[in-house]
Amino acid sequence: MSEQCKFIKANGLRCKFKTKNGEFCQRHTKIECPICFEEIKSDKMILSCDHAFHVGCITQWYVHSDNCPVCRVSQGKDPFIKFKNMVQDDMREKYRDAIESLEDEILRLRHRLTRHGRIDFNNA
């Protein structure tokens, strides 16, 4: 059963919100970012698993992992992760075309080399 928050405001009145777990409500509980260990005052991002982080901290984490750094639950539906995956897929597609193009050019140059015994780069 939740109780009333024990925080006393500057005007001497007690907070009217209910506690979630503990003595204080969510508003009066200091939330610490598990990545940088600093208090989260603004730019807070809460993941689907209910862990909270600074937006900058979790986006840096997402560069290396799609999972929550605390509980390791996949965050595949997170908009940042969806965007990251979309960009990665796009880059793979672009690089695939570039690699194929380079391979074709190498084959063409090898063919010219075997046909002429040398490559004239001025007319390549």
pLDDT of residue 114: 82
Which residues, other chains included, contact 29 with Cβ-Cβ below 8 Å and sequence gap of 6+?
Answer: 20, 22
Q: Say if residues 70 and 51 touch (Cβ distance below 8 Å).
A: yes
Please, what is the Cα angle at 37 between 62 and 75, to 5 degrees? Answer: 25
- Nearest by Cα to 30 from 47, 10, 52: 52
Verify that 83 and 115 share a domain, yes or no: yes
Phi, psi angle pair for 67, to nearest 5°: -110, 155
Domain co-membership, 50 together with 63: yes
Question: Are residues 71 and 83 both part of a single domain?
Answer: no
How would you class 58 by CB atoms within 10 Å of its CB: exposed for 0-12, middle for 13-18, buried for 19 or more?
buried
Are residues 42 and 23 both part of a single domain?
A: no
Q: Do residues 36 and 61 share a domain?
A: yes
- Domain holding 94, by residue range, is 78-124
Q: Would you state the pLDDT for residue 61?
A: 95
pLDDT digits (tens, 9 = 90+) for 15-69: 888 886 677 777 777 788 999 999 888 889 989 888 889 999 999 999 999 999 9
What integer pLDDT is reported at residue 86 of this predicted model? 93
Total domains in the chain come to: 3
Kindly state whether residues 37 and 26 are assigned to the same domain. no
Tell me: do 82 and 116 sit in the same domain: yes
Model confidence, pTM? 0.54
Q: What is the pLDDT of residues 79-122, one digit of tens each?
A: 999 999 999 999 888 888 888 899 999 999 888 888 776 655 56
* 40 plus 5 within the same structural domain: no
